[in-house]
Every structure is written in structure tokens, then in C-alpha cells.
Structure 1
Amino acid sequence: MVNRKELDPEKSPSAAFGQRLRELRDERGWTQDELAERIGCSGTHISAIETGRRPPTRRFAQGADRAFGTGDRLVRQCRAARHTSLLEGFPEYVTHEARAAEIRLYEVGVIPGILQTPGYASALTARSVERGAITPEQGEERNSLPATRQAALDRDPLPLVFVVLDESCLRRPVGGPAVMDEQLASLTKFAAQPNTLLQVAPFDLGDRRPLSLPLYVLTMSNRSLISYAESAHRGQLEQETASVVPLLTAYHQLQAESLSQAESVAMINRLRKGTP
């Protein structure tokens, strides 16, 4: 079949659900539109579920179980697919990030996962588990993600990676002095790479700061744009160029107002030495 996307059920619980949905549909010889008619949705929705771009809802899984005659098998698998610590849209963002030609990140309060050391990531996760915000199983998912994202950067050609960190990312202590020192040292190594740029947005930017929430913007090899933005409880993936361009403009304005890479690395080194 032309343009039939290969699925990787190991990527995430949602991807595993999508793979199983496609298998059941193929066994019956149904098209996506034919399954959609039986469930009461659109063929586009079926495609998004099968490829993992959209997590299944319980209502969808119930309809699929009725259509396939599979009891509550898909409902149970749906429960696992939605039992995740990642915000909606982020798993799909990560799949695009692994193929992007240019990656632009702005983060507030925490080092972004793509730059986290194992010790830093584990310390953050441990606190979330202690608070009951996530389960130990979800903690394992969080801990494994930074390494997966970092490994995806080691490809040919190397992607360009631009990072702006709010000063709070550097000054928020995580995991104790040794963990923070290792994390800050890792940032200086990142800044020394030929395909990277690291900048700090200092506190004294004040109201000149054009962004107040984390933002990730990707430029794909065909020059199309994708953005991902999140608040405390929601994530939003955007692929319409007209909607992403204003965000990219704000990112460039933030870069212009932020410290240079040399100044940023100097700030990091001062923090490592315990000086203001």
C-alpha cells in the first residue's frame, strides 16, 4: 500500500495501541473509513490513533471493542496507553524532534530533557513520585526519555540545536550540589559543540522578555515548521505554519535580548564556583 506508515509499537503505549488497532483492522480487511463508520468517527481520526499521533480515549476503545468483538481488550490497552506522565502532544513532538534539521528550545525553571544528565533527571522524577504526582512506572518512562532524545541528536547530518534557558533553570537546585555541578558542566560541553548555541535569558530582562512559557520550535528538512508549547497541565503541538511563525519570531526576539553564548557560559562557570 502506497504511503503506509510503518509503526513502532515499542515507541510508546499509544503506539502499541495503534499497532494493535491496525492489526485487527487488517485481519478483517477493513479500510480506515470502514472502521470509522462502525465506531462513529472519521477515517482521519483512525489514522491519527493508528500512528500514535493521538492517544485513544476510553470511549473510542469501547467502540473499537464492539466493532471488533474483542470484549474489553482494547479498553484495557487504552488504559495503559493513557497512563502516561507525558503531556498530550509531547510524544508526537519527540518523534518530529528526532528528524528535525533545526531545534529551538526555550525553557523556564528546569533544564530541558534533551540536555538533562541522568542524575538531574532522576532527582526530578524522584520528587514527583514522592509527591504522588506520578507513579513509579511513569517515573521510569520519564527517566528513560532524555537519553532517548539525546541519542537521536547523534545523526548525519547533525541538527542545529539552539537553546535559551531562563536564568531560573540554572539557579533552581536539583538533586544536591554534586548533581547540579555535573549538570552545569554538561551545559558547558553542549555549548562547545559545533552545531549548538546556548544562551541564558537573565532575570533582568524583565518585561522585555517576549516569552513567559516554555516553547520548542522545529524546522524540518523540508523547511516546514512545528511548535510545541506547554503550561502546567497541557501541551499543544502546532503544525500550521501560519500559527508557528509568530512563535518563531518571538523566539528570535528572545535570542536577541538574551546573553551571548560566551556570556552565558561565563555565568554558568560562576555558578559552578559558587559566585554570583
Structure 2
Amino acid sequence: MVNRKELDPDSSPCAAFGERLRRLRDERGWTQEELAERIGCTGTHISAVETGRRPPTKRFAASADRAFRTGDSLERQSMALRQTALLEGFPEYVKHEARAVEIRLYEVGVIHGLLQTREYAEALEADAVRREAITEEQATERVDLIVRRQATLTRSPSPLIHVVLDEGCLLRPMGNAGVMKAQFDLLVEFAERPNTLLQVAPFNMGARRPFSLPITVLTLPDRSLMSYAESSQRGHLERDSDSVVPVLTTYHQLQAEALPQAASVAMIEQLRKGTS
């Protein structure tokens, strides 16, 4: 079959489900359209699920179980997929982040994942486990993903990374003093890299702070733009340039109002002294 996308079932839960769905369909000699008729959807929908571009709903998985006579195994697999610790939309964003040539991000509340030490990330997720927001397995999944994301940024040529942290990210303690000192050390080291810019948006910006939630803008190798924002339940990836350009403009306004890098690093170094 021409243009048949090969799947790596280990790359994501969606890919694992898609690979299994395709394998079951191939074993029966059905086309995507023939399976779609049995399930009650379109061949395009089947293609999107098989290639991991669309997560399976519980209803879709149950219908597939009936078509393949696989009991409730696909439905259970889809439930496990939805129980992952990652927000809907985030795994797709990570794929684009790994190949972006420029990354602009603004974070509130906690240090952004791309700048976290492993100990800081573990302390953050341990608190989520304590609150029973996630399981220990999901906490491990989140920390391991942070490590993998950071590793992709060491590629050559390195992407340009612009970071603006709300002052609250620095003042919220995570773990013990040693964890915070190591985290501040990493932030200072990050600011010294030739491909980075680190700024702090101080509290006294007040109403001049244009964003109230975290935001990321990616520039891809073809110079197209993409933005990503999160609510408490899901992430939203925006590819339409007409929608992304205003976000980028607002980000530039944020950078103009935030502390310059030298002053931002001085603030971090002052806080680091308090952890000694």
C-alpha cells in the first residue's frame, strides 16, 4: 500500500492503540472503509485513529471490539490511554517541540518543565500523588517525559529558547532547600547558554502582564508558527497563523515589560543565597 505510515507502538499510547487496530483490520483483510461501515464512522476517522492522530473514544473502542469480536480488550486499552497523566493534546505538542527552531514560553506557578531539575520535577509530582491527583506510575511517566524533552533540545543546531517566568515560579518552594538551590543553579546555567534568553516577569508588572496562563509559541523549520496553551483538563494546539501571530505579538510585549536577563539572573542568584 502506498503512503502507508509506519507506527512505533512504543512512542505513545495512541500509537499503540492505532497499531493494534490496524493489525486487527489487516488480519481480516478489511479496508479502512469496510471497518468504518462496521463501526459506524468514516474511513478518514479510522485512518486518524490508526496513525495516532486522533485518540479513540470509549464508544469507538467498544464498537471496534464488537466488530473484531475481541471482548472488551480494545475498550480497556482505550480507558488506560485516557488515564495517562498527560493532558489531551500534549503528546502531539511534544512532537512539534522536539523539532522547533525557536521556542518562546511563558510559565506561571512552577518552573517550566524544560528548565526543571529531575529532583524538582519529582518533588512536584510527589505532591500531586499525595493529593491523589495522579498515581505513582503517572508521576514517573511525567518525570521521564520531562527528561526526554530536555534531551531533544541538545540537538545541533540548537533551537533558540526564550523563557519568561512569572516571579511566583521562583518564590514557590519545591522540595527542600537543596532541591531549590540546584534548581536555581540550573536556571543560571541556562541563562548563560548562547541560544537562550531568560527573563522574570515581576509581580509589580501588575496589569501590564498580558498573559494570565502559560503559553508557548513554536517556530518550526519551515518558519510556520504554532501556539500551545493549557486549561486544567486539556491542551490546545493552534496552527492557524492568523490566530498565532497576535499571541506572538503579545509575547513580545511581555518580554519588553519583563526584567532584562541580567536583572532576572541577579534576582535568581539572590534567591539562591537564601537556600545556602
- Class of the TM-score when normalised by the shorter of the 2 chains: over 0.9
Question: Counterparts of 2:250 and 2:4 in 1: how far apart (Å)?
Answer: 37
Structure 2 equivalent of residue 126 of structure 1? 126
Decide whether aligned partners of structure 1 residues 193 and 4 sit closer, same or farther in structure 2, where only a CA change above 3 A counts.
farther
Residue 2 of structure 1: how far off its partner (Å): 4.2
Q: Do residues 194 (structure 1) and 194 (structure 2) align?
A: yes
Question: Counterparts of 1:242 and 1:35 in 2: how far apart (Å)?
Answer: 37
Question: Counterparts of 2:194 and 2:60 in 1: how far apart (Å)?
Answer: 47
Residue pair 1:166, 1:202 contacting (<8 A) in 2 also: yes
Structure 2 equivalent of residue 161 of structure 1? 161
Equivalent position amino acid for 1:132 in 2 = E
Residue 67 of structure 1: how far off its partner (Å): 2.1
Equivalent position amino acid for 1:162 in 2 = H
Q: How does 1:139-158 map to 2 (within 5 A)?
A: 139-158=139-158
Residue 46 of structure 1: how far off its partner (Å): 2.5
Residue 234 of structure 1: how far off its partner (Å): 2.6
Equivalent position amino acid for 2:142 in 1 = R
Equivalent position amino acid for 1:171 in 2 = L
Residue pair 2:105, 2:216 contacting (<8 A) in 1 also: yes
Equivalent position amino acid for 1:95 in 2 = K
Q: How does 1:34-113 map to 2 (within 5 A)?
A: 34-113=34-113
Q: How does 1:173-212 map to 2 (within 5 A)?
A: 173-212=173-212
Residue pair 1:229, 1:237 contacting (<8 A) in 2 also: yes
Q: What do residues 36-56 of structure 1 show as CA deviations (whole Å, max 9, x unaligned)? A: 332222333323322323322
Decide whether aligned partners of structure 1 residues 122 and 31 sit closer, same or farther in structure 2, where only a CA change above 3 A counts.
same
Residue pair 1:14, 1:82 contacting (<8 A) in 2 also: no
Decide whether aligned partners of structure 1 residues 44 and 100 sit closer, same or farther in structure 2, where only a CA change above 3 A counts.
farther
Decide whether aligned partners of structure 1 residues 241 and 46 sit closer, same or farther in structure 2, where only a CA change above 3 A counts.
farther
Q: What do residues 4-38 of structure 1 show as CA deviations (whole Å, max 9, x unaligned)? A: 33322112222211111122223334343333332
Equivalent position amino acid for 1:43 in 2 = G
Q: What do residues 91-117 of structure 1 show as CA deviations (whole Å, max 9, x unaligned)? A: 110111111111111110011111110
Q: Which moved more, 1:26-35 or 1:252-261?
A: 26-35
Identity %: 69
Residue pair 2:88, 2:233 contacting (<8 A) in 1 also: no
Residue 207 of structure 1: how far off its partner (Å): 0.5
Question: Counterparts of 1:262 and 1:146 in 2: how far apart (Å)?
Answer: 27
Question: Counterparts of 1:241 and 1:29 in 2: how far apart (Å)?
Answer: 41
Decide whether aligned partners of structure 1 residues 56 and 269 sit closer, same or farther in structure 2, where only a CA change above 3 A counts.
same
Equivalent position amino acid for 1:73 in 2 = S
Equivalent position amino acid for 2:82 in 1 = R
Residue 3 of structure 1: how far off its partner (Å): 3.7
Q: Do residues 4 (structure 1) and 36 (structure 2) align?
A: no
Residue pair 1:52, 1:92 contacting (<8 A) in 2 also: no
Structure 1 equivalent of residue 262 of structure 2? 262
Cα RMSD after superposing both structures: 1.6
Equivalent position amino acid for 1:67 in 2 = A
The number of residues matched between the two structures is 275
Q: What do residues 222-265 of structure 1 show as CA deviations (whole Å, max 9, x unaligned)? A: 11222110122232122222222221221111111111111111
Structure 2 equivalent of residue 245 of structure 1? 245
Question: Counterparts of 1:48 and 1:111 in 2: how far apart (Å)?
Answer: 34
Decide whether aligned partners of structure 1 residues 219 and 172 sit closer, same or farther in structure 2, where only a CA change above 3 A counts.
same
3-state secondary structure, aligned to 2:6: coil
Question: Counterparts of 1:40 and 1:62 in 2: how far apart (Å)?
Answer: 12
Decide whether aligned partners of structure 1 residues 17 and 236 sit closer, same or farther in structure 2, where only a CA change above 3 A counts.
same
Q: What do residues 198-220 of structure 1 show as CA deviations (whole Å, max 9, x unaligned)? A: 11111111111111100111111
Question: Counterparts of 1:259 and 1:31 in 2: how far apart (Å)?
Answer: 58
Q: TM-score, normalised by structure 2?
A: 0.94
Decide whether aligned partners of structure 1 residues 197 and 5 sit closer, same or farther in structure 2, where only a CA change above 3 A counts.
farther
Decide whether aligned partners of structure 1 residues 214 and 60 sit closer, same or farther in structure 2, where only a CA change above 3 A counts.
same
Q: Which moved more, 1:159-168 or 1:44-53?
A: 44-53
Residue pair 1:129, 1:139 contacting (<8 A) in 2 also: yes
